[in-house]
Amino acid sequence: MSSPIVFIDGDQGTTGLQIHDRLRNRTDIRLFTLAAAERKDPRRRAEAINACDIAILCLPDAAAREAVAAIANPAVRVIDASSAHRIQPDWTYGFPEMTPGQVEQIANASRVTNPGCYPTGAVGLLRPLVQAGLIPGNYPISIHAVSGYSGRGRAGVEEHEGPGAANAPSYQVYGLELAHKHTPEIQQHASLAQRPIFVPAYGAFRQGVVLTVPLALRLLAPGVDGTTVHACLARHYAEATHVRVLPLHESSALKHLDPQVLNGTNDMHLSVFHDPEHGHVLLSAVFDNLGKGASGAAVQNLNLMLTRQ
């Protein structure tokens, strides 16, 4: 049997380039991309996507929808790295560690939507706690996250690495209209009854994310404290390869969180910090926005889908 053909549509962007880099030396697949002159040719793109076994879409949302609409071959399977299909019920959410049955769902799926970088951290922290009943679904969740400038795609890289890099901002909070496109994704996949407040920011470093969620114990289920919250997360991710919950003694020794510490990996570290005296808990997630938050996750999902190819 010949190796499956994996087509990357949009391999010239930040996510596509990293996916290509992670896959280019693989011998178990035949990697295919379009030449520069063919990338904007709808006919050629349609031919390519219908001739592959698995397509990885690294495109803007509208272009991703067009690519999916062009699929006539029912055997073609898709991993969409855009946000176009993340809350669509007929697409499988590509976060393997989210629930016990998620790995099997991804492996058997024909349509997988890669999680957003910020939702990877937010859902990773909140979904197990909400499902366990430790955080009420109607809790007023607020989320703050800082990403490397590559999270903006080419525009961010150009601003910080191009001719005008000396004038690039060192830090900027955005999404001040409180309508960031990742918010519905977080609400749905974290099983929140109410829309969370999400405040994102970019720092003057290329890649990496620190995401935090503060909790007030008085608003949680009776008897819940930092130890309870940590134990729930530790149980949920006990067998996970790419998600590690730091032991309480390890997180309590931290003086700061470095967003770049896991760059180049597909790993995510979750921590629980607690102040029993004042009844406060802080949840944190650290990961690479181009790794577990994008290209690494896509390759992880691809590997699962290849087991059923």
**pTM of the full structure:** 0.95
- Secondary structure letter of residue 116 according to DSSP: P
Residue 174 has pLDDT above 80, yes or no: yes
Residue 179 has pLDDT above 90, yes or no: yes
Q: Which DSSP string do the residues of 23-63 spell out, in sequence order? A: HTT-SSSEEE---GGGTT-HHHHHHHHHT-SEEEE-S-HHH
Q: Which long-range contacts (CB under 8 A, 24 or more apart) does 73-77 make?
A: 76/49, 76/50, 76/52, 76/110, 77/53, 77/109, 77/110, 77/111, 77/112, 77/305, 77/309
Percent of the chain with pLDDT over 70: 100
Pinpoint the alpha helices (H) of 75-195.
102-108, 117-131, 154-161, 183-189
Q: What is the mean pLDDT of residues 122-145?
A: 96
Interaxial angle between packed helices 14-23 and 296-306, expressed in degrees from 0 to 180 and rounded to the nearest 10: 50
pLDDT, tens only, 259-274: 999 999 999 999 999 9
Q: What is the mean pLDDT of residues 158-186?
A: 95
> Could you give all domains of the chain from N- to C-terminal order, each with its CATH number?
5-115+294-306 (3.40.50.720), 117-289 (3.30.360.10)
pLDDT, tens only, 30-88: 999 999 889 888 899 999 999 999 999 999 999 999 999 999 999 999 999 999 999 99
Residue 75 has a pLDDT of 97
**Mean pLDDT taken over the chain:** 96
Residue 2 has a pLDDT of 86
Distances (CA, A) of 307 to 103, 129, 182, 226, 263: 11, 30, 30, 39, 27
Q: What is the mean pLDDT of residues 125-149?
A: 96
Type of residue found at 73: N
Distances (CA, A) of 102 to 76, 92, 157: 21, 9, 33
Type of residue found at 171: Y
> Nearest-CA neighbor of 306 among 89, 26, 100, 64?
26
Residue 39 has a pLDDT of 87
Q: What is the mean pLDDT of residues 293-302?
A: 98
Residue 50 has a pLDDT of 98
Interaxial angle between packed helices 117-131 and 226-236, expressed in degrees from 0 to 180 and rounded to the nearest 10: 110
Residue 15 has a pLDDT of 93
Residues annotated as catalytic are 117
pLDDT, tens only, 20-41: 999 999 999 999 999 988 988 8
Residue 243 has pLDDT above 80, yes or no: yes
Q: What is the mean pLDDT of residues 229-252?
A: 97
What's the distance, Cα to Cα, between the start and end of the chain in Å?
11
Residue 1 has pLDDT above 90, yes or no: no
CB 170 within 8 A of CB 178: no
Percent of the chain with pLDDT over 90: 93
Q: pLDDT band for position 221 (50/70/90)? A: confident
Sheet holding 280-287, edge to edge: 171-173, 197-203, 142-148, 209-216, 280-287, 268-275, 243-245
Residue 103 has a pLDDT of 98
Type of residue found at 175: G
Q: What is the mean pLDDT of residues 131-158?
A: 94
